[in-house]
Amino acid sequence: MALTQRYPGLDVLVSDPANAQTASRANLASHLTPRDEHYIRTHHCTPEIDADDWTVSLTGMVERETDISMSELRCDFPTESVVHIMECSGNSRRYFDPDAEGDQWGDGAIGNAVWTGTPVCAILDEYGGATDNGLWLSAMGGEAPPDKDVFCRSIPMSKVREDCLLAYEMNGSPLSAEHGFPVRLIVPGWFGNNSVKWVEEIRVMEQMVHGDEWTDRDGRDYTEYQQSSYRITPAQDDGPTRHASVDVFSTYDQMEDERFPNAYLFDQLVKSLIIAPADNATISASRVEIAGIAWAGEEDVERIEISTDGGESWRDAEFVGPDFGPYAPTKFRYVWEPDPGEYTLCSRATDEGERTQPATVSDPEQELRGIENDQYPWNKKGYGNNAYLSHAITVEVAE
């Protein structure tokens, strides 16, 4: 069945490999995004996997290497759930000017789901895996054809130990094929590119995937999606600088650290979206509730402001419950009493580290590597755009 029929709530950018965004911001208004409205981002064709034959291999710095079946994964370990709003780092790429490379995602490469599975640290403990700070866990997708780069991501061990899951359920149902059936990694609070789908191997390592051993492991490149893609690369750079290891994991902190000229897309940047009213709506009421969501990766959202004049002046919005944990979106509302006219509405979130969404995306000539002067750095692959004017909406208030 075609992707559009199976996922009626998605707007398909490319059908094979499957790349589709949520069709409307309204799909993000409910507390959990239904599975059929949650975006899909995939580099290779979606594999058809028989869960009864699937195993996850545990390799590297462990006392006993092993292959774990899906039934062992479910039955032999504790089960945990996390509500995680996941954003593709290419979300909002469409607003880069000039265009950045890649599919032109609007605002819809984002979704909020409850993910259920086995804590990775329970597996490491059972098989004597090393879990010291400074080590990495590399997760490898099993879907790449023999002549293609393997989708592999290296996650710092401190994050793995904290809360990473090998998830087999999304919103209480088995994963769908496109979302990683039968098992995927979930790295809560981090950009979607870290949450490897169709996991077939996890390996405890001293470094990230880096160097000859990994650019040619049995004839395939495992480094592309860690070291080349998913890096903040200004227009003037030849390519991102590859590192064997880094000791700073916040995406923001890397952007500000001269040792790492091309930040890795790790935890999500602070961002917000107005969900109601809808873009281009005509409103006839004298009191209007402006509502939306905000999120900030590993940090909490500290403050949300609303502007009804395109960012000239700001007023605080209030937070709305319930609280679904540190990686769930924060909902907000603001009651507005407008006069008739045309308005540009925007929201701006600030995290507990006092990081605020910038106004715009910079020009490529500025060579920014981080957020400066209220500008998000234009970068070659168009990652991480959290500028509030990119996400502003226009409404008309009728007489």
Q: How far apart are CA 47 and CA 142, in angstroms?
A: 8
| 40 vs 114, beta carbon nearer ligand MTE | 40
Identity of the residue, 197 or 203, whose beta carbon is nearer to ligand MTE in the bound complex = 197
| Distance from C-alpha of 357 to C-alpha of 368, rounded to nearest angstrom | 16
Judged by CB under 6 A, the chain residues 134 through 193 that form the site for ligand MTE are 141, 143, 151, 178-180, 192-193
The per-residue b/e assignment along 265-288, b for 16 or more CB within 10 angstroms, e otherwise, is: bbbbbbbbbbbebeeeeebeeeeb
Q: By rule CB under 6 A, what count of residues binds ligand MTE?
A: 19
Nearer to Mo ion, 193 or 350 (CB): 193
Position of minimal CB gap to Mo ion: 88
**Pairing outcome for strands 19-22 and 10-14:** antiparallel
Q: Which does 355 bind (CB under 5 to 8 A by kind): Mo ion, ligand MTE, none?
A: none
What are the strands of the beta sheet with 315-316, ordered from one edge? 282-283, 393-397, 341-351, 301-307, 315-316
Residue 224 binds what, of Mo ion, ligand MTE, none (CB under 5 to 8 Å, by partner type)?
Answer: none
Helix ranges (DSSP H) in 91-244 = 120-126, 157-163, 212-215
169 binds, among Mo ion, ligand MTE, none (CB under 5 to 8 A by kind): none
Can you tell me which residue has the tokens 């409307």? 24
Binding site for Mo ion (CB under 5 A): 41, 88, 192-193
88 binds ligand MTE (CB under 6 A): yes
> From CA 321, how far away is CA 333, in angstroms rounded?
11
Query: Which residue from 294, 359, 301, 296 is spatially nearest to 332, judged by alpha carbons?
Result: 294
CB of 31 to Mo ion, least distance (A): 23
Q: Decide whether 327 or 336 has the Cβ nearer to ligand MTE.
A: 327
Choose from Mo ion, ligand MTE, none: what does 39 bind? Cβ within 5-8 Å by kind.
ligand MTE
Residues 43-72: x/- map of binding to ligand MTE (CB under 6 A)?
Answer: x-----------------------------
Helix (H) or strand (E) holding 71: helix 70-75
Query: Which residues are at the interface with ligand MTE (CB under 6 A)?
Result: 38-43, 88, 141, 143, 151, 178-180, 192-193, 195-198
